[in-house]
């Protein structure tokens, strides 16, 4: 345990800041050109992890973060859009946070802590899965995968509305001046301000930055005017050089070959290039705005005399978002019907819809390979910063760590025992690393596995076994030595057959241990999500489209009759 008292209000408070879809080099401390001074300052006075891993999408990561258990034991092994019939009635695959596991808030509640959360939850909205039922005293949360940042509205046709909740009650309206990062920070400050001052607290600020739609106040976005005019290839190279210079990755790190299907910057039309540049500027502004509001929260805690005794954790839930929504014409039609604009002149502001697409995503993840939804390091290796009482100014921490390690770390720091009757925590406490007693909590023979809808990985020592599925993977198993090749540029599966066989055996043991249910042959997550989007779109607007179609046919038929009549 860290050097903190075992009881009373002197036990450390805990603040977790969860960023959404932030790539490995998106924060300033990790080599970014984006201004994130408040999070960079935390890294400077604490521990900055360079080998921390999560799931390739948000919900499984959040389930593991909150419980310390593998996602296949929590009820949420994948996104709700990717739940297959084989999961029906299977333990650990319920589609929401099950009651077999306990959250860190439940564990800490039993130890006398009070807990608060604002922002994205995405672990269920039932009476047993909302945070109000899982140890949180106050909560203002979004249970959809995302939402608009300016208004109370959905961002995908898959949802008829954005699922916002305060405690057990659905939220129907937002204030007129709502902006997600600002509002969620203010609400968390209000919750902490109303707490019992004689008890320590856990506070979770779960921001929507940088989930699509990318949106940010102009004052932040305009600071990046012209910064990205050279394109994504240049930025990807810049980020790689910065990561090497900072010591985040070895000098031997090479960029992996880009996946098939990405666009060539030089071949873009003028309009495509303008939109790409504007979207990247909005992404930068959105992240800087998030850092600004995190800074407001830290300043408020400092003014209250609480910051010195508050442990702060900052992480992302997965790698950068790759989706290019308007590639699907039906989605473009849905955006237009919702009143969303793609106009570059005011992109990022109210009623606009920006996104970076897979090309900019490779730059956000650089020098790592691939991005969100895939098992390449770019989808799984993300920033983690820990600072506060008892944490040494460690600088860079290069030892492997995994998202399930956060929960046992916090319980260790708080002097809290896990609840005995719940699913065991499988992660390991990072306290030895945070206090400088060890460089890593995993030995060379310790294997850590991951699976989400066929996206699979196993880490052991310097080695990684990995399989990425479509749209940008091919379902083939590959082997990499991450100590020299974190960019996954050189597949060693053929040259190291014994290591490959051993890793495959360890992965099979992992699947059996946690209860992985394989996806069907030929499963394509992107196609499934698109199909569900089509279905939702037709469910909502099918009758109108049929009516329009009949009207068009009637007009065409009437015109044809008129022409034939005149010819006669």
Q: Within this chain, do residues 414 and 464 fall inside the same structural domain, yes or no?
A: no
> In the 8-state DSSP scheme, what is residue 195?
S
The domain boundary residue, chosen from 434, 468, 486? 434
Integer Cα distance of 463 and 507 in angstroms = 12
Q: Within this chain, do residues 398 and 506 fall inside the same structural domain, yes or no?
A: no
CATH of the domain at 502: 3.30.1120.10
The domain boundary residue, chosen from 413, 434, 455? 434
Work out the pLDDT band at 7, boundaries 50, 70, 90.
very low
CATH of the domain at 216: 3.40.720.10
The whole-number pLDDT of residue 546 equals: 63
Give the tokens for residue 193. Answer: 């301000």
User: Does residue 7 fall inside a structural domain?
Assistant: no
pLDDT digits 0-9 by tens, 428-445: 999 999 999 999 999 999
Work out the pLDDT band at 329, boundaries 50, 70, 90.
confident
Strands 114-120 and 138-142: parallel
The whole-number pLDDT of residue 245 equals: 98
pLDDT digits 0-9 by tens, 393-424: 989 999 999 999 999 999 999 999 999 888 89
Q: Within this chain, do residues 458 and 422 fall inside the same structural domain, yes or no?
A: no
Give the tokens for residue 409. Answer: 């770390």
The whole-number pLDDT of residue 133 equals: 97
pLDDT digits 0-9 by tens, 19-72: 999 999 999 999 999 999 999 999 999 999 999 999 999 999 999 999 999 999
Q: Within this chain, do residues 487 and 372 fall inside the same structural domain, yes or no?
A: no
Q: Within this chain, do residues 417 and 503 fall inside the same structural domain, yes or no?
A: no
Q: Count up the domains in the chain and report the number.
A: 3
The domain boundary residue, chosen from 400, 434, 468? 434
- Residue numbers of the domain that contains 98: 13-434
pLDDT digits 0-9 by tens, 233-285: 999 999 999 999 999 999 999 999 999 999 999 999 999 999 999 999 999 99
pLDDT at residue 8 is higher than 60: no
The whole-number pLDDT of residue 549 equals: 53
Mean pLDDT of the chain: 92
548 CB-contact burial (10 Å; exposed 0-12 / middle 13-18 / buried 19+): exposed
Q: Within this chain, do residues 200 and 59 fall inside the same structural domain, yes or no?
A: yes
pLDDT at residue 4 is higher than 60: no
Q: Within this chain, do residues 336 and 475 fall inside the same structural domain, yes or no?
A: no
The whole-number pLDDT of residue 10 equals: 81
The whole-number pLDDT of residue 328 equals: 79
The whole-number pLDDT of residue 82 equals: 84
pLDDT at residue 545 is higher than 60: no
User: Does residue 2 fall inside a structural domain?
Assistant: no
The whole-number pLDDT of residue 383 equals: 98
The whole-number pLDDT of residue 5 equals: 39
User: Does residue 3 fall inside a structural domain?
Assistant: no
pLDDT at residue 539 is higher than 80: no
Give DSSP secondary structure letters for 436-504.
TS-S-S--TT-EEEEEETTEEEEEETTEEEEE--TTT--S-EEEEETTT-TT--S--TTT-HHHHHHHH
Give the tokens for residue 419. Answer: 């609840």
> In the 8-state DSSP scheme, what is residue 157?
T
pLDDT at residue 564 is higher than 90: no
pLDDT digits 0-9 by tens, 355-382: 999 999 999 999 999 999 999 999 999 9
The whole-number pLDDT of residue 565 equals: 60
The pTM (predicted TM-score) of the whole model is 0.93
358-364-367 Cα angle (round to 5) = 105
Q: Within this chain, do residues 371 and 501 fall inside the same structural domain, yes or no?
A: no
Alpha helix locations (H) across 194-324?
218-221, 232-246, 270-303
pLDDT at residue 3 is higher than 50: no
Mean pLDDT value across residues 179-186: 98
The whole-number pLDDT of residue 264 equals: 96
The whole-number pLDDT of residue 6 equals: 39
Mean pLDDT value across residues 139-143: 97
pLDDT at residue 458 is higher than 70: yes
The whole-number pLDDT of residue 502 equals: 98
The whole-number pLDDT of residue 529 equals: 66
User: Does residue 439 fall inside a structural domain?
Assistant: no
Catalytic site residues?
58, 122
Integer Cα distance of 372 and 321 in angstroms = 5
The whole-number pLDDT of residue 333 equals: 86
**C-alpha torsion 84→86→91→93, nearest 10:** -10
User: Does residue 225 fall inside a structural domain?
Assistant: yes
The whole-number pLDDT of residue 523 equals: 79
pLDDT digits 0-9 by tens, 486-506: 999 999 999 999 999 999 999
Integer Cα distance of 320 and 180 in angstroms = 19
41-42-45 Cα angle (round to 5) = 85
Give the residue from 335, 331, 378, 343 showing the smallest Cα distance to 359: 378
Q: What is the CB neighbour count within 10 angstroms for residue 541?
A: 16
Q: Within this chain, do residues 199 and 254 fall inside the same structural domain, yes or no?
A: yes
Q: Within this chain, do residues 509 and 568 fall inside the same structural domain, yes or no?
A: no
Q: Within this chain, do residues 529 and 510 fall inside the same structural domain, yes or no?
A: no
Q: Within this chain, do residues 86 and 128 fall inside the same structural domain, yes or no?
A: yes
pLDDT digits 0-9 by tens, 69-102: 999 999 999 988 888 889 988 999 999 999 999 9
Integer Cα distance of 37 and 239 in angstroms = 18
pLDDT digits 0-9 by tens, 111-127: 999 999 999 999 999 99
Give the residue from 395, 57, 378 showing the smallest Cα distance to 239: 378
Q: Which helix (H) or strand (E) element contains residue 397?
A: strand 395-397
């Amino acid at each position: 345990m860290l050097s903190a008292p075992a009881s009373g209000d002197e036990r450390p408070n805990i603040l977790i800041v969860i960023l959404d879809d932030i790539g490995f080099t998106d924060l300033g401390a990790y080599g970014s050109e984006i201004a994130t001074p408040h999070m960079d300052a935390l890294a400077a006075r604490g521990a900055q992890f360079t080998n921390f891993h999560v799931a390739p999408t948000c919900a499984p990561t959040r389930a593991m973060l909150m419980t310390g258990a593998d996602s296949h034991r929590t009820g949420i092994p994948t996104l709700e859009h990717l739940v297959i019939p084989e999961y029906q009635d299977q333990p650990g695959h319920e589609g929401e946070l099950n009651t077999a596991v306990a959250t860190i808030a439940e564990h800490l509640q039993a130890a006398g802590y009070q807990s608060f959360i604002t922002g994205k939850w995405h672990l269920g909205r039932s009476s047993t899965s909302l945070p109000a039922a899982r140890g949180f005293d106050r909560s203002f949360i979004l249970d959809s995968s995302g939402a608009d940042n300016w208004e109370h509205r959905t961002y995908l046709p898959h949802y008829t509305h954005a699922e916002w909740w305060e405690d057990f009650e659905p939220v129907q309206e937002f204030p007129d001046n709502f902006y997600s990062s600002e509002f969620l920070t203010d609400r968390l400050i209000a919750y902490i301000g109303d707490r019992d001052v004689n008890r320590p607290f856990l506070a979770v600020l779960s921001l929507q930055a940088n989930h699509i739609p990318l949106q940010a106040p102009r004052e932040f976005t305009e600071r990046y005017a012209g910064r990205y005019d050279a394109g994504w290839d240049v930025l990807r190279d810049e980020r790689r050089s910065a990561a090497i210079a900072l010591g985040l990755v070895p000098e031997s790190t090479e960029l992996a070959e880009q996946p098939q299907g990405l666009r060539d910057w030089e071949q873009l039309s003028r309009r495509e290039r303008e939109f790409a540049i504007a979207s990247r500027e909005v992404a930068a502004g959105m992240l800087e705005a998030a850092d600004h509001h995190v800074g407001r929260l830290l300043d408020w805690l400092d003014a209250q005399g609480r910051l010195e005794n508050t442990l702060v954790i900052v992480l992302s839930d997965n790698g950068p978002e790759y989706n290019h929504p308007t590639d699907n014409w039906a989605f473009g039609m849905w955006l237009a019907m919702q009143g969303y604009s793609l106009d570059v002149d005011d992109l990022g502001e109210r009623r606009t819809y920006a996104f970076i697409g897979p090309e900019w995503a490779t730059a956000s993840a650089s020098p790592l390979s691939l991005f969100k939804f895939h098992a390449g390091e770019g989808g799984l290796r993300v920033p983690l910063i820990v600072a506060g009482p008892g944490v040494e100014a460690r600088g860079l921490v290069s030892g492997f760590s995994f998202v399930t390690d956060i929960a046992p770390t916090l319980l260790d720091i708080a002097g809290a025992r896990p609840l005995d009757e719940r699913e065991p925590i499988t992660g390991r406490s990072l306290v030895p690393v945070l206090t400088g007693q060890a460089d890593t909590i995993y030995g060379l023979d310790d294997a850590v596995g991951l699976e989400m809808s066929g996206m699979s990985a196993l880490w052991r020592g310097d080695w990684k076994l990995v399989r990425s599925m479509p749209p940008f993977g091919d379902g083939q198993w590959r082997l990499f030595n991450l100590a020299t090749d974190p960019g996954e540029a050189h597949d060693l599966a053929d040259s190291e057959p014994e290591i490959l066989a051993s890793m495959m055996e360890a992965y099979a043991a992992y699947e059996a241990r946690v209860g992985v249910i394989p996806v069907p042959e030929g499963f394509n997550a992107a196609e499934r999500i698109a199909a569900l989007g089509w279905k939702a779109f037709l469910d909502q607007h099918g009758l109108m489209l049929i009516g329009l179609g009949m009207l068009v046919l009637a007009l065409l038929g009437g015109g044809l009759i008129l022409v034939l009549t005149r010819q006669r």
